[in-house]
Structure 1
Amino acid sequence: MSGRYWVSKEGQKVNNCIFDKTILHILDANLQVPILSIKEMNNEKDIDDFLKKHLSKIINDSDLKNVLFELNGNKIYDLCKKINLDKESFIDVSVELANMLFAIMKENPSIPSGDVVFATFEDSGNNYFLLMKLNYRNSYMHYVSNTDQGNFNNLIKQKTTLPNETQKVEECILINLSNFECKILEKQYEICGQKEYYLSKYFLKCVSELSNSQKLKVLDKAVSKVNKKYFDEEFDKVSKFRTCLAEGIEETNSIQVDLVAESVFGDNQQIKKEYLEEVKKLGLVENIVEIPVTNSTTKKYRTQKLKTDSGIEINFPSNFYDNKELIEFINNPDGTISILIKNITKVINQ
């Protein structure tokens, strides 16, 4: 899977997205039944912009991941095929999907209530189906009561506010209707006593891959484990690791796992082998990991943050680590470390 088929070259905005059909259903688990709409939403610019802004954020979210459909006997797959063959079935399909999702929510109280937008849209010649779950948030608004003595102003808590354009949508499903490639953004909730991804496992009934965020966490966790075992948690190994990841993402939008092992652990074949085995054990099987350049995926690795046992904290760009013209780490004979910062023309307080 390419995984980038609806993203513009900038990797930040939906590219020429045109919404065809949209409908909103209310899935409030405090009610006995969902409140289902019998009509599509009006095609208003404000609503269109609202959906596009959220969709742009979703497709660049580092937690977005691929899922693999089991095509035989999969209800979601069959319903998406139905929409593809007959656009007029859109409302009926959305109602059926909303009822399926609501049934899962009623059985599992930890899953939050929300409104669900179903939509079909076209982007760069491809048609897509969208399920965007807008989980409720608490907010406050003013309320004015008219009395004989004048106005009485108060605050009222709103329990069914939807995420605005600047907030994150936590749950979403995107399906390419031409080849049925599917991406999902989901959260874990308690199902039968343990936390699970209910959207992929119980709703889509699909096998999900690791998201970009999860892949980076696997690499990070494996380095930390091997570093603790063999190097007593030396900062040098973690710093090399973060520098390697930052450079790979910035230069090629990808990370080559075996090169990370080479960069961090050098010629020690046994430790490199153990690191690569640990990575696979944690679920990352591919050697080349495609990582789009977005703030959410690279921010952590663009900057090195070190803290000494004496309480001094140092932050510097990752690509400075191996540049001895700017910063040098000196191992002293007594076992201590000196950090020499060079070529400074000005120091300012922040």
Structure 2
Amino acid sequence: MMDFYIKQVIIHQFRPDDTELHLATSPIELTPRLDDYFRKKLSRVFSEEAKRGYFEANSPFFAKIEDDLAVSSQTIAKLWREAFVISENQKTNDLIFIQFDKDGVSYFAFLRLALREHLAHIIGEESPIQITQNNLPSAAQTPDEALVVNLTSRQYYLIEKRIKHNGSFANYFSENLLQVTPEQSVKKSIKTLEHTAQKIAENFNQDDFTFQSKMKSVIYDHLEGEEELSPEKLADQLFDSNLTARLSFVDQVKETIPEPINISDIDHSRQTKKLENQKLSLSNGIEMLVPTRVFQDAESVEFIQNQDGTYSILIKNIQDIQSK
């Protein structure tokens, strides 16, 4: 887990029955278990799911973040309610405001957690299995919405959900509350890279299983060994023998991702894990799970295209075989 030092936590609540805020006047007492819960929640914001950007120096929202957490939390909670109350799908929400340090730098966080109903076994009751209200989600779950701000650099990390209003959906959090246009998340950016690479490969008749596997291997290597995902570097490896394809890939990617994607400040382990193995389904019913790190290693596995158009797979240098 990332190293967070939590200073204060204040929790307000929004209830859909009266659409009003129930404002706390003081911070909660931080027990070790609560401290662990909120640190896990914060760590989920520094992830591949977060959109990122920087507040301008004259940002009206950033100006609302004050040293006094009680004051700024109430101000921002009221602004959030004004933006959120139009939503057609309202639940009871805890609005959690946190002052914390990360790597010696001061941060501000606003987490929205939709509370849940759960079945609970309550001893001593005539009906021991009852529905309990206003349960917090598990620590491992990503907050329903979240904003974390580096108070020195004004960089923000944003998890947001669209709300439905008058039959349409809107990113009310970034557009109305924060008034910013964030970069798309690393998770979505990787999907854009994959989709664009596949489309270019189709245009140049390269879209077969070897290209799909090469694409996953290249992105995996960049996630493992680089601080950013560079469209130019990816193009050089994906389309190394085709200059036109390389240029087309870079041009199309930069329409939605104008700058290299920084991955050094977030936890992208989920994306890496998705790419660490490649599953192949063969026409004869055999399925293979090949670690990405050996996929391009000719000393470990070789894919051979036969003259009749079929494929052969040669697996090499096997020291031991076990049946599982």
TM more than 0.5: yes
Aligned match of 1:76? 61
1:66 aligns with 2:52: yes
Task: Specify which of 101, 105, 121 is matched with residue 122 of structure 1.
Answer: 101
Q: Against the structure 1 CA distance between its residues 293 and 34, is the aligned structure 2 distance closer, same or farther, given a 3 Å change threshold?
A: closer
1:205 aligns with 2:192: no
Could you give the per-residue CA deviations for residues 57-116 of structure 1, whole angstroms, max 9, x where no partner exists?
A: 322x211221332444x4322211xx14xx3xx323212211221232220123554101
Could you give the per-residue CA deviations for residues 92-145 of structure 1, whole angstroms, max 9, x where no partner exists?
A: 321221122123222012355410111222333322211011122332111345
1:101 aligns with 2:101: no
Alpha-carbon distance between aligned partners in 2 of 1:25 and 1:167, rounded to the nearest angstrom: 20
Task: Structure 1: give runs of 5+ residues left out of the alignment.
Answer: 1-11, 147-151
Preserved CA contact (<8 Å) 2:217 2:295:
yes
TM-score by length of 1: 0.84
Q: CA deviation at 1:223?
A: 1.2
Q: Against the structure 1 CA distance between its residues 177 and 323, is the aligned structure 2 distance closer, same or farther, given a 3 Å change threshold?
A: closer
Preserved CA contact (<8 Å) 1:65 1:212:
yes
Preserved CA contact (<8 Å) 2:6 2:98:
no
Q: How does 1:33-52 map to 2 (within 5 A)?
A: 33-52=20-39
1:13 aligns with 2:2: yes
Tell me, what secondary structure is at the counterpart of 1:183? strand
Aligned match of 2:208? 234
Task: Specify which of 149, 161, 186 is matched with residue 175 of structure 1.
Answer: 149
Alpha-carbon distance between aligned partners in 2 of 1:173 and 1:138, rounded to the nearest angstrom: 25
Q: Against the structure 1 CA distance between its residues 135 and 125, is the aligned structure 2 distance closer, same or farther, given a 3 Å change threshold?
A: same
Q: How many residue pairs end up in the alignment? A: 323
Q: Against the structure 1 CA distance between its residues 94 and 293, is the aligned structure 2 distance closer, same or farther, given a 3 Å change threshold?
A: closer
Could you give the per-residue CA deviations for residues 146-195 of structure 1, whole angstroms, max 9, x where no partner exists?
A: 5xxxxx34322234211122333231111122332222122233344333
Q: Against the structure 1 CA distance between its residues 56 and 194, is the aligned structure 2 distance closer, same or farther, given a 3 Å change threshold?
A: same
Task: Structure 2: give runs of 5+ residues left out of the alignment.
Answer: none
Alpha-carbon distance between aligned partners in 2 of 1:337 and 1:214, rounded to the nearest angstrom: 33
Aligned match of 2:10? 23
Aligned match of 1:5? none
Deviates more, 1:258-267 or 1:186-195: 186-195
Q: Against the structure 1 CA distance between its residues 320 and 54, is the aligned structure 2 distance closer, same or farther, given a 3 Å change threshold?
A: same
Tell me, what secondary structure is at the counterpart of 1:107? coil
Amino acid at match of 1:107: I
Deviates more, 1:199-208 or 1:112-121: 112-121
Q: Against the structure 1 CA distance between its residues 111 and 320, is the aligned structure 2 distance closer, same or farther, given a 3 Å change threshold?
A: farther
Alpha-carbon distance between aligned partners in 2 of 1:199 and 1:46, rounded to the nearest angstrom: 30
1:285 aligns with 2:258: yes
Alpha-carbon distance between aligned partners in 2 of 1:113 and 1:279, rounded to the nearest angstrom: 40
Alpha-carbon distance between aligned partners in 1 of 2:165 and 2:248, rounded to the nearest angstrom: 34
Preserved CA contact (<8 Å) 2:3 2:103:
no
Alpha-carbon distance between aligned partners in 2 of 1:233 and 1:30, rounded to the nearest angstrom: 54
Aligned match of 1:307? 281
Amino acid at match of 2:175: K
Q: Against the structure 1 CA distance between its residues 349 and 99, is the aligned structure 2 distance closer, same or farther, given a 3 Å change threshold?
A: farther
% of aligned pairs identical?
24
TM-score by length of 2: 0.90
Deviates more, 1:161-170 or 1:288-297: 288-297
Root-mean-square deviation over aligned CA pairs: 2.3
Q: Against the structure 1 CA distance between its residues 329 and 112, is the aligned structure 2 distance closer, same or farther, given a 3 Å change threshold?
A: farther
